[in-house]
Structure 1
Amino acid sequence: CLQGMHHPCIASLQLVNAKHDTNSGLKHGTWVHAAFEHADTSLQKIVYATLDRTSHTITGRALPPLMLRSFMYQLLSALAYSHARGVAHGNLAPYRVLARELDVENDQYLLKLADFGFSPPAAALCNEELPIRPSRASPELHSDNQRKRYGPANDLWALGTVFAEAACGNREPAVYMMIQELESVDDEQMENSLHMLCDDGRDLMRQLMRAEPTVRITAADALCHPYFDGIHEQCAVVGKYLPPSRPPPCKFLALCAHKVWVPGLDFLVEQTELNSRMWSILMDWLAVVSHKFKFVPRSLQLAVDFMRRFMAATRVSRKRLQLVGIGALCLACKHEEVMIPNMNDFIFICDNAYNLEELMLVEVEILNHLQMQLHVPTVHDHLNQMLIELGSVPEHPDGEDPSKLVKWCEVLTLMGLAQHSVAIFDSAVLARCVGTLCGLLSHGVASQVTRADGTSSAGKISSKLSERVCYLSSAEDWSCLKELVKAIETCMSENREVILKCHPEYAALKPVQQLLDEYVHDSSRRANHLKARDVKQWAEKHYSIEHTRSNNLFAEFEDTSNKFLPKKAYMRGITTGDLPTFCIPAVTAALGHQLLAERRSYSNSVAS
């Protein structure tokens, strides 16, 4: 995740290389060598005159006001940059802050935030327990909380403790205990304990030490706090290295990896032994593996990104395809998961077709080819922003199980990525397609939609789906939607295991109204939702009895998928009473067909 993080106050990664060494004295040895820029000292040594970790009984140097403001501004700038890129530090402390000596006599130092080894993986953002507990844990990470919330807000709390320590020059127990309960401390008591801070400094301290992480000040907002007024003119280091004209950090969703593979490029075009059918088989198998290990959605999606970039420039034989797939998934879960399976488990699930050394070698090969750039946005990341805007997921993870809609979004994404013609599109493009279809299912009307001419307008109740919920703008978006609809149909007709084995509940055949009720976000706003009669009409139009029967997608018997694991996937079933039955993939694909029909109608009207 440090690849590409170029900030004056973050220790830059200069060189990184992975190597598998069979002569290391161990049975297997894989080494990752990383070289960072040189630093002269650390914040720990500046305050305590030692590099060793110190106890609360050691008294150091209380930093002068301007020096303290400079250090806080530098650290907040570094955190704002890393948080914007989706990276939390995880365990901020004085001995993890390095420094370059610019002018020691005048207290001029350029700080370098280092040691991101505790940065929590995505799966830990709302997890019951993380094996590593930060030493300066914020309240949401305490042991009495069943659901712990890891993320950027933890860094701000830890920075607040560093702020108090640097201001006092020690870890005075009375002060340290006071700031843990700062919301219950009055201004007079706080002023007596932290008299060396000005009023603005104490106010910043209060905002950093808020117990509720959702209202704790962010690093970006803290940089604009009155405590730092005039800092660029008063401090030469800040003025030179962090000028106001410095451009804002690149947002995580705008990140892109080294351009080996670019969206739209067929990553299989140079593969003489592979074809799109093999890609589908591999992805279906990896989906089952991920389901068995209960990996988070980002793990498999990251593995897809690794494989695309690797296979775009490296020939892979048919025999090694499964090895590359499991190697990419192994790397992805090491990046994302809290609890990582033993590598021998990956060998076992491959039916011992490869040995441990082969798996470790392919990991090294992929790592070096990707230049260690593993921290990239996935479909899940882009889609999550749309679901937050729709109100389908909370902005801050709360530990609750995801809704049925969110799970269907994840399955729909997997169905798309298993189709080679969809996998060649950028993650953001696929996310817009999935977000549009699932937004129609759950909300019926979005606050903002993208119109056919590319402009934006407010969503409204309309007979046209594209005026209700639509995030699609470019021709590439519409091409991806077309291929995604085909992918859904292919997945069902080929009885893919991602549906039948991993998520059989989505193969259940039910009346349209019952299906819509299961995915509705807010029943109090039912007037905005799609009407069952309209959805039924579209589903019957695109998946008639004759069409589904001819393609062996019509169930001639009562649905029992809620009782037994289905052996065959169907798009439509026999009528229950007066109501035809469909599965949710059929309804979703029908919405996609209807959107595409509206797009064709618009294109024809423009052409004429």
Structure 2
Amino acid sequence: MDEYEYLKKIGEGSYGTVHKCRKSVNGEIVAIKTILFYDYEGVPRSVMRETNLLKQMDHPNIVKLLEVLTANNKVSLVLEYADYDLQKFILSDPANTRDPHFIKRLLHDILSGVQYCHRNRIIHRDLKLENLLINSQDKIVKLADFGLSRTIDTPLGPLTKQVGNLNHMAPEALLGSAQYSTPIDIWAVGCMFVEIVTHQDLFAGFSSSILLAKIARTIGTPDEQIWPGVTAMFPPNVMRQQFPPKDFAEIAPGLEPAGINLLSRMLRWNPSERITAAEALAHEYFDGIQPRT
């Protein structure tokens, strides 16, 4: 690690630590994510998964893995550096981040990264504003933190139940399904869309049943016509009360009609009815927005 100068710690969590660093040979600023492990454990599976996926991916809206360093029971991922995660960026400049064109640009970047993942049979599974990176100069959003991501098998095998950020978890995952697929990422993008527009969480709760009830109060209680088989899956206490769907203009005040339509197609109970990332990018809401190159 002598080839890098540590400048400051920029993040810490159960995964390890992230430092802003400078490469000695050329002065390049990078982020180094370091994870410690014990000999008897070996390199954590999440780290191996994230490393392998990032090595495969090359897209302007996906964070780049520059190299992997291992030494003394630790592995370090050297990543391209970004000034902020998207949550901190929005909090740092709340007025300008409410600009309608800027919101479109942010969401287009997010969906472009998600579409690339889905096209390559990757589900992110932990999409939240804290896992999206942005630089203050070019303002390009990049998907990061692929430790919980999975590739989709053919045929689709069972996946881990209830992964990622609970507040962005799709109904099928909250209900304990192990057969979910790419639509869970679209649900998370819909939740973030509202957060970007309103600067507030759409759904927040400490348990699956609380969140399912909040979703029902927002987009209406599901029935067999909306989502065949839902009655058997749902907790009886949630299904007992029948809530009508709110107007999506009430859910995201100030969002233009085309954006309301797009949001309504993301936040649907039935995963098979949700818009895909590719379809979303072709939506009229993004007319005039060009892909990053």
Q: 1:183 to 1:206 in 2, by over 3 A?
A: farther
- State the distance in 2 between where 1:186 and 1:78 align: 34
2:100 paired with 1:65: yes
- State the distance in 2 between where 1:216 and 1:138 align: 11
Cα shift at 1:130: 3.5
Q: Is the 8 A contact 1:183 1:210 kept in 2?
A: no
Amino acid of the residue matched to residue 219 of structure 2? L
TM-score, with structure 2 as normaliser: 0.63
Cα shift at 1:213: 1.5
Unaligned runs of at least 5 residues, structure 1: 22-28, 51-59, 103-107, 233-237, 243-608
Query: Which residue is equivalent to 2:178?
Result: 148
Aligned residue among 246, 255, 266 for 1:208: 266
2:219 paired with 1:182: yes
For the residue of structure 1 that corresponds to 2:76, the secondary structure is strand
Alignment of 1:488-567 (within 5 A): none
Q: Is the 8 A contact 1:183 1:206 kept in 2?
A: no
Query: Which residue is equivalent to 2:188?
Result: 158
Structure ranking higher on relative contact order (CA contacts 8 Å, 6+ apart)? 2
Amino acid of the residue matched to residue 144 of structure 2? A
Q: Is the 8 A contact 1:15 1:34 kept in 2?
A: yes
Aligned sequence identity (%)? 28
- State the distance in 2 between where 1:100 and 1:43 align: 9
Cα shift at 1:91: 0.6
Cα RMSD (Å) of the superposition?
3.0
Alignment of 1:97-246 (within 5 A): 97-102=132-137, 109-120=139-150, 122=152, 126-127=157-158, 129-130=160-161, 132-135=163-166, 136-142=168-174, 144-145=175-176, 147-171=177-201, 177=214, 181-182=218-219, 189-232=247-290, 238=291, 241-242=292-293
2:89 paired with 1:46: yes
Cα shift at 1:127: 3.0
For the residue of structure 1 that corresponds to 2:98, the secondary structure is coil
- State the distance in 2 between where 1:171 and 1:203 align: 19
Q: Which has the higher strand share?
A: 2
Amino acid of the residue matched to residue 169 of structure 2? A
- State the distance in 1 between where 2:117 and 2:159 align: 25
Cα shift at 1:134: 3.7
- Cα distance per residue 1:225-265 (max 9 Å; x no partner): 01101123xxxxx5xx24xxxxxxxxxxxxxxxxxxxxxxx
Q: Is the 8 A contact 2:117 2:123 kept in 1?
A: yes
- Cα distance per residue 1:548-607 (max 9 Å; x no partner): xxxxxxxxxxxxxxxxxxxxxxxxxxxxxxxxxxxxxxxxxxxxxxxxxxxxxxxxxxxx
- Cα distance per residue 1:69-112 (max 9 Å; x no partner): 0000011001111111121111100011010122xxxxx61111
Cα shift at 1:187: 8.3
Amino acid of the residue matched to residue 4 of structure 1? Q
Larger radius of gyration: 1
Cα shift at 1:215: 2.3
- Cα distance per residue 1:256-312 (max 9 Å; x no partner): xxxxxxxxxxxxxxxxxxxxxxxxxxxxxxxxxxxxxxxxxxxxxxxxxxxxxxxxx
Query: Which residue is equivalent to 1:14?
Result: 66
For the residue of structure 2 that corresponds to 1:217, the secondary structure is coil
Q: 1:179 to 1:218 in 2, by over 3 A?
A: farther
Q: Is the 8 A contact 1:120 1:151 kept in 2?
A: no
2:55 paired with 1:3: yes
Amino acid of the residue matched to residue 127 of structure 1? P
2:36 paired with 1:36: no
Alignment of 1:451-470 (within 5 A): none
Q: 1:133 to 1:75 in 2, by over 3 A?
A: closer
Q: Is the 8 A contact 1:90 1:151 kept in 2?
A: no
Amino acid of the residue matched to residue 271 of structure 2? P
Q: Is the 8 A contact 2:127 2:164 kept in 1?
A: no
- State the distance in 1 between where 2:202 and 2:107 align: 20
Cα shift at 1:126: 4.6
- State the distance in 1 between where 2:216 and 2:83 align: 31
Query: Which residue is equivalent to 1:542?
Result: none
Cα shift at 1:128: 7.2
For the residue of structure 1 that corresponds to 2:87, the secondary structure is helix
Cα shift at 1:199: 1.0
Q: Is the 8 A contact 1:156 1:208 kept in 2?
A: yes
Alignment of 1:63-102 (within 5 A): 63-102=98-137
Unaligned runs of at least 5 residues, structure 2: 1-52, 205-210, 222-242
Cα shift at 1:180: 7.4
Amino acid of the residue matched to residue 247 of structure 2? Q
Total equivalences in the alignment: 209
Alignment of 1:254-273 (within 5 A): none
Q: Which has the higher helix share?
A: 1
- State the distance in 2 between where 1:78 and 1:172 align: 22
Q: Is the 8 A contact 2:122 2:152 kept in 1?
A: no
- State the distance in 1 between where 2:124 and 2:200 align: 23
For the residue of structure 2 that corresponds to 1:14, the secondary structure is strand
Amino acid of the residue matched to residue 82 of structure 1? C
For the residue of structure 2 that corresponds to 1:164, the secondary structure is helix
Q: Is the 8 A contact 2:126 2:163 kept in 1?
A: no
- State the distance in 2 between where 1:228 and 1:85 align: 23
- State the distance in 2 between where 1:166 and 1:190 align: 15
Cα shift at 1:222: 0.7
Cα shift at 1:148: 2.4
Q: Is the 8 A contact 1:180 1:209 kept in 2?
A: no
